[in-house]
Structure 1
Amino acid sequence: MNPKPPKLPESVLVVIHTPALEVLLIRRADAVGHVDHWQSVTGSKDTPGEDFHDTAVREVFEETGIACGPGSALADGLCDWDIENIYEIYPQWRHRYAPGVVHNTEHLFSLQVPAGTEVRLSPREHTAYRWLPYLAAAEACFSPSNAEAILMLPRFIEDISPTSGWAAAA
Structure 2
Amino acid sequence: MYKIPESVLVIIHTSDLQVLMIERADKPGFWQSVTGSKDALDEPLQQTAIREVSEETGIVVGDTDTVPCANLDDWHLENIYVIYPVWRHRYAPGVTKNTEHVFSLLVPQNTPVVLSPREHVQYRWLPYRAAADLCFSASNAEAILQLPQRVTGVSVKTPES
What is the TM-score when the length of structure 2 is the normalising length?
A: 0.92
SS in 2 for 1:115: coil
Task: Name the CA distance, whole Å, in 2 between partners of 1:72 and 1:101.
Answer: 37
Query: 1:100-126, CA deviations, whole angstroms, 9 ceiling, x for partnerless residues?
Result: 000000000000011110000000000
The unaligned stretches of length 5 or more in structure 1 are: 160-170
1:81 corresponding residue in structure 2: 75
1:60 to 53, 74, 84: 53
Query: 1:36-75, CA deviations, whole angstroms, 9 ceiling, x for partnerless residues?
Result: 1000000000000000000000000000000113432312
SS in 1 for 2:98: strand
Task: Name the CA distance, whole Å, in 2 between partners of 1:70 and 1:116.
Answer: 19
1:119 corresponding residue in structure 2: 113
SS in 1 for 2:51: helix
Query: Which residue identity is paired with 1:19?
Result: S
Task: Kindly report the root-mean-square deviation, in angstroms, between the aligned alpha carbons of the 2 structures.
Answer: 0.9
What is the TM-score when the length of structure 1 is the normalising length?
A: 0.87
Shift in Å at residue 156 of structure 1? 1.1
**Fraction of identical pairs, as percent:** 62
Shift in Å at residue 28 of structure 1? 0.4
The answer to whether 1:129 aligns with 2:129 is: no
The unaligned stretches of length 5 or more in structure 2 are: 154-161
After TM superposition, the runs of 4+ consecutive aligned structure 1 residues lying more than 2 A away are: 69-73
2:7 corresponding residue in structure 1: 11
Query: Which residue identity is paired with 2:16?
Result: A
Shift in Å at residue 155 of structure 1? 1.1
1:50 corresponding residue in structure 2: 43
Task: Name the CA distance, whole Å, in 2 between partners of 1:69 and 1:92.
Answer: 34
SS in 2 for 1:71: coil
Shift in Å at residue 83 of structure 1? 0.5
